[in-house]
Amino acid sequence: MTSKLQEGILVGCGNPLLDISAPVPLKFLEDYGMNVDDAILAEERHMPIYRQLVEGYQAEYLAGGSVQNSLRIAQWILRQPNVAVFFGCVGQDDYADILREKARAAGVDAHYQVSPDTPTGTCAVLITGTHRSLCANLAAANKFTIDHLEQPANKALIDNAQYYYISGFFLTVNPPSIMRVAATANAKQRPFLMNLSAPFISQYFMEPLLAVMPYVDIIFGNEAEAHAFATAQGWPADLDLREIGKRLVALPKINSERPRIAILTQGCDPVLLIQHDKVQEFPVTRLAVHEIVDTNGAGDAFVGGFLAQYVQGKSLDVCIRCGNYAAGHIIKNPGCTYSGEPEFNE
């Protein structure tokens, strides 16, 4: 059992989405012009997906949204409610009620902004074997505004936090809110953590990503996301993941006292920890194919496990090992859900 942490020590901002998850044939992806392991924003042509999943397949509703997932996992490992505070926007509907209930049950202190005339966001999770493809219809999540963070009670929560985590996905919604949280973290000399989240963020939202990057103390990403960032930056095409990591940490940084750290995952290959010019590897326990339920939420769970130790002031290697533990656990469960008590030992 961890010693008692300050409530609200960790603040996260992101897109609260209800995952509608179902196993589908590959042809389903092809029909919608999607690829295996995609993560995309829904366009008009994708809109029928959600109803089709519910009506034609064994669909499950799971609490989703990348940051909220990470915070739920962190809370599960910490076993102390309300360590994590979450900000995001939902509609005024049943889906929002489900998300609220799931957050509360997990111990996350969710402070949703409500957009009464927009439905709560959904994410179609298309499971094909051990792969997952995501198609997010942000809907209400896209309506988040900075004035929600300026309400006195919410501003106090942000000011009192010691750690801040925001997904790259949130760059598509409200960059001013991200910059506000980043500036607060910087002014108070507190760690600001961010995630590259998906290749399309680097491809289409590089400007707001580069605007916030000088504030980022720890950047997370997987190999596809790191390569997409490198390509969008015009870096040499033959750079390996280690070199990309070194360049990520060398990007301009406002607080040079706290050099940036990059943590890059690569599926069942070792996690890379890049600090200065040094790269360390942390092995990942391979799962047998029959143990894998789906990989949806594995990256979110990795961050959740990491955060659970990081907010306790644990060393980076303990944080990463806990991230690997959490990701391995989530892969054996549907979506970003957990079962039983956490069994991580330092």
Place of tokens 């750690």: 163
User: What is the rounded CA–CA span in Å between residue 145 and residue 143?
Assistant: 6
- Give bridge partners of residue 82 from the DSSP assignment: none
**Active-site residue, from 31, 294, 300, 317:** 300
Tokens of 69: 């997932």
Query: Active site includes 97?
Result: no
Residue among 245, 337, 300 nearest 68 (CA): 300
Residue among 104, 115, 167, 105 nearest 142 (CA): 115
- Residues 46, 280 contacting (CB under 8 angstroms): no
Annotated catalytic residues are 300
